[in-house]
C-alpha cells in the first residue's frame, strides 16, 4: 500500500504508538510519520505508507502551526503538564497587557534551550533517557525560528496562543521560557498541531475512522491524493515512454520544466512514480523511484 494519511493524533499516545496502530490497521509494515508529536499533544500527524515512506526526506524542514494553552504559576521538569513541579506554586492572575508585552520576545530567530525530556542526543543517548534516571542533562542552545506567536486570550492563570514555527522549535520551551520571563514559572498545559507543511487539521482523520474504513474496504478514501503532495514541486503526467525510462531510473528530457529544480512524475492521474531532479538544462534524473513497475499502484481516491 503506497499512501499518505493525515491522522488526528489523540493525547496520551506517542507518535510511534500511532504508527504501530496504523501498521496493524493497514496490514502494512512500512509506515512512518512526518514529524514527532509529544504524547500530550494532539493534532496533525502525517503518516506515509509503503513506497511513499521515501518521501519523508522532503519533509525534514517542514513548518508547523500550533494552538495551545500555557499555565502560569509553576514550572515542571518536562516543561508540560505531564511533569513534576520544579518551582513552588504561585497564585497568578494574568494581565493581558503584560503578556502582549512579553510575546514579541518569542518571535523571529531566537536561541532556545531544548528541554531535558527530549529526543536530543547526548553522546548518542536521548536526553529523556538520562533525565528519567535523574542524570545530568547538558544540552546546548539552538537557534529556532518562530514566524508568528500570538496570545489569543487569558483567564486566571491560563493563556491561549497560536504559533507558526520552523522545524525544530519546541513549544514546551516557549511556555517554560515565558514563565521565566514573567518570574512566576509556567508550563505547557495543552497543545494541538493544526498544520504540518501542506497537511491541515481540516483533512485529518481519527484512528477510529481509519479502522472503520479498513473494515469496510474503503481506506483509500481517506488517503491524501498524491497530486496534493509537495505542492512546491510542479507535476508531470508522463507518457508511456517517459514513464518507462523513469521507472528504470534513466534520465529524461523535460523541456517544459527548464526552471524547475525538481518535478513530481505521475503516470495517469494518481500514480506518483518518481521525484526527478534537474541535473543540467532540461535533463532530469529520477532522484527516487516510487513505482519501479507498472503494476505498482498508489492507493489514492480518484476524485479528491
**Does the residue 295 lie in any domain?**
no
Model confidence pLDDT, tens digit, residues 171-217: 999 999 999 999 999 999 999 999 999 999 999 999 999 999 999 99
Question: What CATH number is given to the structural domain containing 235?
Answer: 2.30.130.10
**Does the residue 304 lie in any domain?**
no
**Does the residue 298 lie in any domain?**
no
Domain around 12? 3-62+198-224
Confidence of residue 293 (pLDDT cuts 50, 70, 90): low
Does 175 lie in the same domain as 94? yes
Does 231 lie in the same domain as 211? no
Question: What CATH number is given to the structural domain containing 22?
Answer: 3.30.2350.10
Model confidence at 250: pLDDT above 50: yes
* Pairwise CA distance, residues 272 & 229, whole Å: 10
What is the total count of domains within the chain?
A: 3
Does 78 lie in the same domain as 25? no
Confidence of residue 142 (pLDDT cuts 50, 70, 90): confident
DSSP H or E run through 128 = helix 127-132
Contact predicate 76/86, CB 8 Å: yes
Does 204 lie in the same domain as 151? no
* Pairwise CA distance, residues 196 & 59, whole Å: 9
Does 210 lie in the same domain as 250? no
pLDDT of residue 236: 96
**Does the residue 263 lie in any domain?**
yes
The contacts of residue 97 (CB under 8 Å, 6+ apart) are: none
The contacts of residue 249 (CB under 8 Å, 6+ apart) are: 286, 289, 292
- Picking from 132, 167, 189, the residue at the C-terminal end of a domain is 189
Does 158 lie in the same domain as 218? no
**Does the residue 148 lie in any domain?**
yes
Neighbours of 191 (CB within 10 A): 24
The contacts of residue 17 (CB under 8 Å, 6+ apart) are: none
Q: Which residues have a catalytic role annotated?
A: 38
**Does the residue 50 lie in any domain?**
yes
pLDDT of residue 295: 44
Contact predicate 158/69, CB 8 Å: yes
Does 210 lie in the same domain as 184? no
Q: How far is CA 231 from CA 145, 199, 227, 235, in A?
A: 22, 11, 8, 9
The contacts of residue 183 (CB under 8 Å, 6+ apart) are: none
Average pLDDT, the chain: 90
Give the mean pLDDT of 281-291. Answer: 94
More confident site: 301 or 77: 77
Does 58 lie in the same domain as 22? yes
* Pairwise CA distance, residues 206 & 169, whole Å: 25
pLDDT of residue 296: 41
Model confidence pLDDT, tens digit, residues 23-82: 999 999 999 999 889 899 999 999 999 999 999 999 999 999 999 999 999 999 899 999
| Percent of residues in the chain assigned helix, strand, coil, to nearest 5 | 25, 35, 40
Neighbours of 234 (CB within 10 A): 15
Half-sphere exposure of 243 (CA within 13 A, CB side): 17
Amino acid at each position: 500500500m503506497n499512501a499518505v494519511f493525515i491522522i488526528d493524533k489523540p493525547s496520551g499516545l506517542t507518535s510511534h504508538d500511532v504508527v504501530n496502530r496504523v501498521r496493524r490497521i493497514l496490514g502494512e509494515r512500512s509506515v512512518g510519520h512526518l514529524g514527532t508529536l509529544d504524547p500530550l499533544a494532539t493534532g496533525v500527524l502525517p503518516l506515509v505508507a509503503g513506497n511513499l515512506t521515501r518521501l519523508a526526506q522532503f519533509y525534514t524542514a517542514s513548518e508547523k502551526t500550533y494552538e495551545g494553552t500555557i499555565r502560569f504559576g509553576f514550572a515542571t521538569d518536562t516543561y508540560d503538564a505531564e511533569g513534576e513541579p520544579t518551582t513552588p506554586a504561585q497564585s497568578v492572575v494574568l494581565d493581558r497587557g503584560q503578556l502582549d508585552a512579553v510575546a514579541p520576545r518569542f518571535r523571529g530567530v531566537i536561541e532556545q534551550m531544548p528541554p531535558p525530556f527530549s529526543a536530543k542526543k547526548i553522546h548518542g543517548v536521548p536526553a529523556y533517557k538520562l533525565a528519567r534516571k535523574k542524570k545530568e542533562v547538558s544540552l546546548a542552545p539552538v537557534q529556532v525560528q518562530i514566524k508568528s506567536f500570538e496570545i489569543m486570550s487569558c483567564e486566571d492563570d491560563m493563556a491561549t496562543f497560536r504559533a507558526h514555527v520552523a522545524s525544530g522549535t519546541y513549544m514546551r520551551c516557549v511556555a517554560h521560557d515565558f514563565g521565566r520571563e514573567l518570574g512566576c514559572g509556567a508550563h505547557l498545559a495543552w497543545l494541538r498541531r493544526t498544520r504540518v507543511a501542506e497537511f491541515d487539521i481540516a483533512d485529518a482523520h481519527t484512528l477510529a475512522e481509519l479502522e472503520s474504513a479498513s473494515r469496510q474496504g474503503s481506506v483509500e478514501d481517506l488517503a491524501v491524493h498524491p497530486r496534493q503532495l509537495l505542492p512546491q514541486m510542479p507535476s508531470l503526467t508522463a507518457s508511456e515512454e517517459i514513464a518507462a525510462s523513469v521507472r528504470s531510473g534513466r534520465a529524461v528530457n523535460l523541456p517544459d520544466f527548464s526552471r524547475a529544480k525538481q518535478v513530481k512524475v505521475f503516470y495517469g492521474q494518481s500514480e506518483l512514480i518518481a521525484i526527478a531532479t534537474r541535473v543540467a538544462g532540461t535533463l532530469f534524473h529520477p532522484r527516487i523511484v516510487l513505482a519501479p513497475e507498472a503494476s505498482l499502484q498508489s492507493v489514492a481516491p480518484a476524485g479528491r
